[in-house]
Every structure is written in structure tokens, then in C-alpha cells.
Structure 1
Amino acid sequence: EVFKSTGYEPEVQIGHGSSGIVWAARHRKTGQKVAIKQIIAPFKTKQTSKRTLREAKLMTHNSHENLMSAYEVIELENVGDVLIVMEQMDTDLAGVIESKNNISPMQHQLFIYQILRGLKYLHSANVIHQDIKPQNCLVNTNCDLKITDFGSAVERGSELKITVTEDSDATTLWYRAPEILMKTKKTSTAVDVWSVGCIFAEMVTGKPLFKGSDASEQLSLILDVAESCSRKNSDPDIVSVVAVT
């Protein structure tokens, strides 16, 4: 009933998050298969209003093959929800990794290459995604990849707009850069590159690189590795080898 006036027929729920539900759907007249993100109560607070408008605006203007774009954005006046209609993909990178199927080195390169291509386009427009993770990298059977979920995106150099407490899914923390975990005032494109590195490590090993249960533990795991690397780099034998070369 909620979708009755939209021209689309929802078929099955394929995802959910802190802001709403994602449906596999089809257009009633043309039969075109689409995915619809239903943002529930998008204007309940100032923060959710900004997040909704930010995502709708970016997805409407995206014109890169590795970034998900919106076919249309619909406001359901009867219930107050917002629908973002987009291309329907087969799965996400999290599903590919969890399938335990052997991912070849060439596929690793292909997926990472496409993520970096999409980010290069975003960054060239002075936009930082801030929420790159396997669940936000959608793929199809041809291994085409599109980055989605732009609700946390900000302009380069602007004040940090995302907090770790916003996340309903703790796994999101596994890909967060230290700058975000430490709540620095400003962010840079480096936070997206950090996330890509975490994804690459997970594809190779089959498990998350840093698997913290909360922000504090996540930061602790990162700092432990950084400290270990620092000790190794300060080894006198290593220093002497570097000096000779």
C-alpha cells in the first residue's frame, strides 16, 4: 500500500540499515527491475534531514560507472518516507567475501580498482564518502562494482559530520579510519583510502583486519599494530640496512 502511488511493486527486502530498508522491486508498467531504498522518517531531526538531502542530491548528480546513481527520488507524502530508486545489483562485496569462494588475485585487483576509480571521481569533486565498507560496494555477476550509501559524505576540509554512535551496525567500525574514531574536527580523503586498505586485507585473508567491538577497542587494535610496526622500524639492524641502501 505504501508504494501504490509510485508505480513500483516491492518484491522482497534485500537490505536494511540505521536509516531504512532496501527493497528489490519492479516497475509495474515496464517490468524493469530496480532497488529502492526506503528512508524512514527522513525529516525527523535536523541531522537525519541533512543526511537524506545529502544522499539524494549526490545520487541524483552521480555520473560515474562506479558510483550508484538514482533513477528518481520520491517523497511519500502519506507516510513521510523518501524512496531512492536505483539500479538493482546482485550482491555486495561483503556477500562475495562471506561466500568463501576463492577470489582470484585478478578479481582482488578488479574490485579495488573500481572502488578507487569511484573514489577518485568523488574526491575530484571535493566529496569524501566516509563510509566505505564491503556492504556499501555493490556488485553484479559481471564483477561490475558501484559504491553506494552517500548519507555520511562531506565536502573535503569541512568539519567532521559523522560520529561512531550513529552506526547501528558495529561492523561499520571495522573500516573506520583513526581520524574518525578519535573524533577529529576535520577529515580528508585519507579516511576513504584507509577503508579501501581494510577491504583489500579482508579480501585477501577472508577476515576483517581490525575487528573491534566498539570504537575504543577498534582504536586500540589499530594502535597496537602501529606500535608494533614502529618498534620493528626502529630495529638497529633495519636502520643500518636502510642507511647502506
Structure 2
Amino acid sequence: MTERGEGVIEVSKREQKGSRAARALRKKGLLPCNFYGKKVKNITGIVEERKFLEIAQRVEPSYLFLLKSTVSELNGKLALVKEVQRSAVKNKLLHIDFQVVEKGEEVSVTVPLHFTGEAVGVKAQGGVLTVSAHELEVSCPADKIPEFIEVDITNLEIGDSISAKDINLPEGVELEGEEDEVIVSVTAPTVEKAPAVEETAEAEEGEEKKEAEAEKKEEK
């Protein structure tokens, strides 16, 4: 488990609202945003798309941003990205919702899973590894969000699986999703059945008949 740092992002106050104003902002490379939290009323703001993407494209979705702003209610606060709206056709960023949180505040987040080791059921027994989930829903203090959670699959044999409840979570992190959700498993390989002897004989007989008919046509 690794805890992440905080990427600084500058937030400007949004003076004008409405779809026309939002389109004008996006043409300038600016993204309309909403900020909300337990101690923050809904505040509209603006961030630079380029600077946001510089951080967002290299970190996990549960990354904490440190806000730098002339808006006193936001300056120095931590925020999580809760929702990103994109255009349907070009998939361009349109709007971002941030949840403003305090250090130590309990938050619900989705954390990616990193699988380590090589399952003995695959390496030595010829089994097939199936990963059913790549992330886990957890709750923890905002300043203790793990960057990822490791899942060791080394000892998995054919027929074994790891459920959400089996994963060792870091201190202060609690599972929020289904305990019995299967995360990863090893199953026996599928073996194709050989065709029955009778079926093979019938197929060969059919081929012989076709060849005989073809020879008769050539003789004519």
C-alpha cells in the first residue's frame, strides 16, 4: 500500500454562469467546476484544463488535489474528483465536480488493486487466472487514502479464489463493497473433447463417397 502526495491546482472564481458562458470558458482552455463538502457550500469555480490533465492523467481517480485559490473557502483545502462530465461524441472534458474534504474526514473512495506474484495454480498446475475486479470500494480518512492496495496471488492453486473480505487492508481502511465479491480466481483449463470414434468413421466415409462421386463425374 502506498499513500500519495497532493497535486496543487489553482482555482479561480467563476463570475458568469450558464451554458453560453461555459462554452466560452472551454474555448479558452478553462473548465467550469463545482466544489462542495461538509463545511463548504456549493461554490462554482474554474481550473485550467491543461494543468488539471497534467496531474489527472498520471494519478489514480481517488487522488487528492490541494486547492490554491483566491476564494477563501477553497484556498488550502483538499479535494477529490467526484464526477467528470465529457462530451458524447469527442469525449472532451466539459465539467468537474470536486468534493472538498478535511484531513481526517472519513470518505468513500474506489482504490485500484495491484496483483503481485505468480499463482502456483497457473505456473505449476496449468490453470487459468481470472481477475474479476481491478478496484475496491473502501472508506478511510481523507489523508490516508492508499494509492493502491496489493493482492498477493502467489499461493492460489486451481480451485482457489480471493474475495474482497480476504484482502489485507491498510490500517484505518475499511471495506465498503460486497464482502463475498470474488476478486481473482484460478480455474482448471478447458479441455476440448476428442471426437467420438463413430463420428470420425462417419466423417471419413462421407469424404470417401464425395471423392467417388467426383471421380465418376470426371470419367463422364
Quick check: which has more Rg, 1 or 2? 2
Same fold (TM over 0.5): no
Larger RCO (CA within 8 A; separation ≥ 6)? 2
Please classify the TM superposition score into its range, dividing by the shorter chain length. Answer: under 0.3
